[in-house]
Amino acid sequence: MLDAKGQEITSSKAIIKELERIDHLFNLYANRSSGMIDPEGIEALCSDLEVDHTDVRILMLAWKMKAEKQGYFTLDEWRRGLKALRADTISKLKKALPELEKEVRRPPNFVDFYSYAFRYCLTEEKQKSIDIESICQLLDLVLGSQFHPQVDMLIDYLKTQKDYKVINMDQWMGFLRFCNEISFPDLSNYDPDLAWPLILDNFVEWMIAKQS
């Protein structure tokens, strides 16, 4: 029988072992000279996880790690994410992905993930907006499965309109609010007098013109 102290030692040993395995896993994918997992390392990780590097779950993993730079994971970020997921082997990480997806899909988490996805794509210093083509890909990736008709229509509009070359965070968050709140495709509860980004007023006008 182990007393409380003995159990404590055993459990702290187990924690140390888990951390060692998480670090070992990091070193398998990390670039030796930069000390980070770079785009090549992420491709290798995706291949071992049997998911495409453009799979939304890789973005969810970056969110869980609070990764700051697109295409790179630092050791601290890696430890943060894998400890939270209790994953110290590739097979455990693979099994953790469906649970991670469920966690992200919960409404308060999803708003955080959705705004993170935008920030994660700001790759230049002081960059505040994202080009239309990248926004269309990102919309499809993060909202496409939940709001397929809205996203399809929004992408169609964004690609045909000429007023906007880039999208900012306020407009990006407006798209999510629109999908959550507005009855689609009849748009019957859309009120342009409420504080919607102008791009959504234009989108609604475009849709109404298209429907008539």
> Tell me: the pLDDT tens digits for 105-158?
999 999 999 999 999 999 998 999 999 999 999 999 999 999 999 999 999 999
Q: Read off the pTM.
A: 0.91
**What residue has token string 């990006």?**
172
Domains annotated on the chain, with CATH: 1-105 (1.10.238.10), 108-211 (1.10.238.200)
First vs last C-alpha separation in the chain = 78
Can you tell me which residue has the tokens 């000279």? 33
Q: How far is CA 130 from the centre of its chain?
A: 15
Nearest 5°: the CA angle 17, 68, 177 is: 115
Q: What is the pLDDT of residues 159-171, one digit of tens each?
A: 999 999 999 999 9
Tell me the average pLDDT across 58-86.
97
What gap in Å lies between CA 180 and CA 178, rounded to an integer? Answer: 5
